Structure formats: structure tokens, C-alpha cells
A and B are shown apart, each in its own frame.
Chain A
Amino acid sequence: MTDAAFVISAYAVIIGGLALYTAVLWRRLSAARRDDEAR
């Protein structure tokens, strides 16, 4: 693969960032729901 470092950097940040954001969103949402149930 030519320019592999650039291709991998682009995909890693975009797909990895998407996965990370989704995971953080899940955590925040489940924490908010737990908070709601505790109330």
C-alpha cells in the first residue's frame, strides 16, 4: 500500500473516533438513566 501511514492515520482517527464517541455516549446515557431511576 502506498502512503500507508496517511491512509491508516485517516481511517484510525475517523473510525476510531466514531467508536470512541459512541462508547462515551453510551456511558453518559446509561449514567443519566441510572440517575433517573435513583431519583
Chain B
Amino acid sequence: MRTRILGFVALGAVVAMTVVGLFVVPADLNQGDAQRIMYPHVASAWVGYLSFGVTALAGIGWLWRRDRRFDAVALAAAEIGVMFTAFAIWGGMMWGRPIWGVFWQWEDPRLITTALLLALYVGYLLFRRLTDDPERRATRAAIVGIVAAIDIPIVHFSVEWWRGLHQTATIGSPDRVLNPSAPMQFVATLLGTLAAFTLAWAYLMIRRYQLARAEAQREESRRVERVMSARTAEPAR
């Protein structure tokens, strides 16, 4: 019931912030309406970071406690993170074309490290399919998930460490949030969209976790059935 309420709240928040981002907040003086893309773009990128961070933490949890629930959390977060990171890249491309003049630039460190992050976690999801043994799969996936998470700070700080087309971090320090250079209505819309996407993320995480647990139970009962039928098929000695 609580998850359902969270779902309705998240839905309302995402719809409301979409309407605000598209129709209520004014267009940027320099960038025009293309700047409206920043709201879901930045929010998607944030939720992507959050997801992959959770995958890494859940991986550590699995290696430490050997509790299958950690593996289900890691899987849920990785799948949702891949989706949101793909959204962030798509939003960035749609903004980049009118503002930079190009959809993509292969020399830009932020773009490359983000594409790498997406590829790493798509690889993580594919890697999970390599073995049927749940214990071995969870251990291998945990290691891949933790190693891949090294790219998260590299993505975030790439705009500070190297020069490229991408501007510096939108929310890099508390000072930037408390004393923003942009008008307050832009900042409020961005923070509102961040909150709405985080609520949607929480709802999807719960549902995807429930699915992962149900799939794990089904996989386990199938395995037991296979063992039982193999035993009954053996000739009596």
C-alpha cells in the first residue's frame, strides 16, 4: 500500500515538474527553450549516479554478508541506472545540437566517461547472464559492479580535471546550491525535477527489487525441481 502511494506521489511529481519545466518556467535568455532540457537531463544523470552507487554498495553488502537480497538490490539499481543514464545521454544530445552545434563530441571527457559508465553497466547486466549458479553470479557481479563504480567520480569530476565542451558541474558544491548564479525559478525547477525523479527512482527500485526476488525464488524452485526429477530418473540400486 505504501509503495502504491509512493508511486502516485512520484507520478504526480514527475507530471507536475514536466509541466513546470516545459510551460511554466520562462525560457533562458541565451539558450532559449533548449535550456528546458536541462531539468530532466541533470535529474536523469543524478539518478544514474545514485543507482550505480547503490549497485556498488549492494555488491559490497553481498560480499560481506552473502545475503541474496543484496544481489537483488544490486540488479535492480543497475538496470534502473542504465535506463536513467541513457536518458541523460539522450537529453544531453538533444540539448547539445542547438547549443553546441553537435549532438556528440568524441573529445569531450564528460561525454566519453558517461558513455563508458553506460557501457560498463550494460556489460554488468550482460555479465550476470553468463552463469546459472546464483552464488557465483552474485559474487562476480558484485566485483564488476564495485570496479565499474570507480567511473562515477571520474564522470563527475571530468569537467574539473580536463577541458572539454561540457560545462562544469551543475550542482558541484553546497555553495552553488545556496548561492546560485541562475535565477531562483530555474534553480527551483531543477531541484524540483531532481526530487521528482528521485521519488520515481525509489518507486521503481522497490518494484524492480520485488521482481528480482520473485525471479530468484522461481529460479530456485526450478533448480530444486530439476534436481528432484534427475534423482527420480536415476535407476534404483
**A→B interface (CB under 8 Å):** 1-4, 6-7, 9-11, 13-15, 17-18, 21-22, 25-26, 28-29, 32-33, 35-36, 39
Task: Find out whether the CB atom of A33 lies under 8 angstroms from the CB atom of B214.
Answer: yes
Partner of A32, one of B36, B41, B211: B211
Contacts A1-B33, A3-B32, A21-B204 given: A11-B40 contact, CB under 8 Å?
yes
Task: Find out whether the CB atom of B14 lies under 8 angstroms from the CB atom of A25.
Answer: no
Partner of B97, one of A4, A6, A15, A28: A6
Partner of B36, one of A7, A17, A21, A26: A7
Q: A residues within 8 A CB of B87?
A: 13-14, 17-18
Task: Find out whether the CB atom of B207 lies under 8 angstroms from the CB atom of A26.
Answer: yes
Q: A residues within 8 A CB of B97?
A: 6
B191 at the interface (CB under 8 A from A): no
Enumerate 17 A-B pairs (CB-CB under 8 Å) in ascending A order.
Answer: A2-B34, A3-B32, A6-B98, A7-B94, A9-B94, A10-B37, A10-B95, A11-B22, A11-B36, A13-B90, A14-B90, A14-B91, A17-B87, A18-B14, A25-B208, A25-B211, A29-B211
Please indicate which of the listed interface residues B27, B34, B94 has the most CB atoms of chain A within 10 Å of its own CB.
B94
Contacts A13-B87, A21-B83, A25-B211 given: A3-B40 contact, CB under 8 Å?
no
Partner of A10, one of B14, B41, B207, B214: B41
Which B residues, 166 to 207, have Cβ-Cβ distances below 8 Å to chain A?
Answer: 200, 204, 207
- What size tier do the contact residues of chain B reach? 20 to 34
Partner of A15, one of B40, B98, B214: B40
B215 at the interface (CB under 8 A from A): yes
Rounded to whole angstroms, the CA-CA distance of A28 and B95 in the bound complex is: 33
Closest CB pairs A-B (n = 6): A10-B94, A32-B214, A2-B32, A3-B98, A10-B37, A3-B34
Task: Find out whether the CB atom of B211 lies under 8 angstroms from the CB atom of A7.
Answer: no
Rounded to whole angstroms, the CA-CA distance of A39 and B221 in the bound complex is: 10
Rounded to whole angstroms, the CA-CA distance of A4 and B83 in the bound complex is: 24
Where chain B touches its partner, the secondary structure class is helix
Which B residues, 63 to 93, have Cβ-Cβ distances below 8 Å to chain A?
Answer: 83, 86-87, 90-91
Q: How far is the CB of B128 from chain A (nearest CB, A)?
A: 16
Task: Find out whether the CB atom of B200 lies under 8 angstroms from the CB atom of A7.
Answer: no
Task: Find out whether the CB atom of B32 lies under 8 angstroms from the CB atom of A6.
Answer: no
Closest to B22 in A: A11
Chain B, residues 40-51, CB within 8 Å of chain A (1/0): the string is 110010000000
- Beyond A10-B95, A14-B91, A39-B221, 16 additional contacts (C-beta under 8 Å) are A3-B34, A6-B34, A10-B41, A10-B90, A13-B87, A13-B90, A14-B90, A15-B18, A18-B83, A21-B83, A25-B207, A26-B207, A29-B207, A29-B214, A32-B211, A36-B217
